[in-house]
Amino acid sequence: MTDKSCIVLGLGPSTGASVARRFAKAGYSIAVGARRAEHLDPLVDEIKKAGGKAIAVPTDATDEAAVKQLVERAETDLGPLGVAVYNASGRVKGSILDLKTDDVVNAWRVSCLGGFLLGREAAKRMVPQNEGTILFTGATSGLRGSAEFAGFAIGKFGLRALAQSMARELGPKGIHVAYANIDGQIHTPRQAHLAKERAPDALLDPDAIAESYFQLHSQHRSAWTQELDLRPWVEKF
C-alpha cells in the first residue's frame, strides 16, 4: 500500500481502465478523468468494491481549468501525486487535400495539448517531492507519419516531443517521464470481432499494456526507460 495518488486522464473501456486497475492493485488511490462520465463511475465502483480508493472527476483534457481541478482533487481527496498517466487521443484520418482545419486542431488539442496540461500540473506537484512518474500513451504516428494520418501524426509527434523535453528537464529532479509507443490495434470492445478472426494475441491486451506501464513506473532510476515500444508478436514494423 502507498499514500500516493495516481491520475489516469483519458479513460475508455480498455487501456485507461486497465491502467487504473493495475495501479489500484498496487495500492494507489486512483483519480480517473474523462469527458464521458459513463466511463468513470463503473470503474470507480469496481475499484472500491475490491478494497481500493478512487474518485471520478469528469474532465475535458483540453480545458486548462478542468485539468488543474483534476490534479487538485487527486491531491486533496486522495494524497500526494505519485503517478500521472495521459491516455487521451485525438484521432482524425483523411487526405491532406480534404482535412478540415478545425478537425486537425481539435485532434492536436486532445493528443498533445492535454498531455502538456496534465504533465505540467503533475510536475509542479512532483518536483518538490523529488519523485514521481509521468507516462504518455503514444502511437506509431508519433514516430512515423503515414498517408492520410497527418492530422493524427501532428498531435502524437507533439506529444512525443513533449515527453522527450520533460524527461530531459525533470529526470535530474527525480521525475521519470516516459512515452509508450502503442504499435498495433488494441483489444477493445469495438475491436473484439477482430480477435476472433486473427491469430491468438494478435491484438494488444489492455491488461498487458497496463502491466508494462506499471513496470515502467517501478524501474530503478539508474536504468529508466524514456521510450517504450509495445506491439503484438505478429505486428509488422
Residue 235 belongs to some domain of the structure: no
- Orientation of helix 15-25 relative to helix 41-49, angle to 10°: 20
Write the CATH number for 118: 3.40.50.720
Residue 135 belongs to some domain of the structure: yes
Q: Which residues pair with 31 in a beta bridge?
A: 7, 55
Residue 237 belongs to some domain of the structure: no
Each of the 237 residues of the chain gets a pLDDT tens digit; together they read 789 999 999 987 789 999 999 999 999 999 999 988 787 999 999 999 999 999 999 999 999 999 999 999 999 999 999 999 999 998 899 999 999 999 999 999 999 999 999 999 999 999 999 999 999 999 999 989 999 999 999 999 999 999 999 999 999 999 999 999 999 888 877 767 776 778 889 899 999 999 999 999 999 999 999 999 999 999 888
The pTM of the full predicted model, rounded to 2 decimals, is 0.95
Domain containing 101 equals 5-230
Residue 213 belongs to some domain of the structure: yes
User: Number of folded domains in the chain?
Assistant: 1
Dihedral of CA 216/39/233/235: which sign?
negative
Residue 236 belongs to some domain of the structure: no
Residue 18 belongs to some domain of the structure: yes
Residue 46 belongs to some domain of the structure: yes
Residue 207 belongs to some domain of the structure: yes
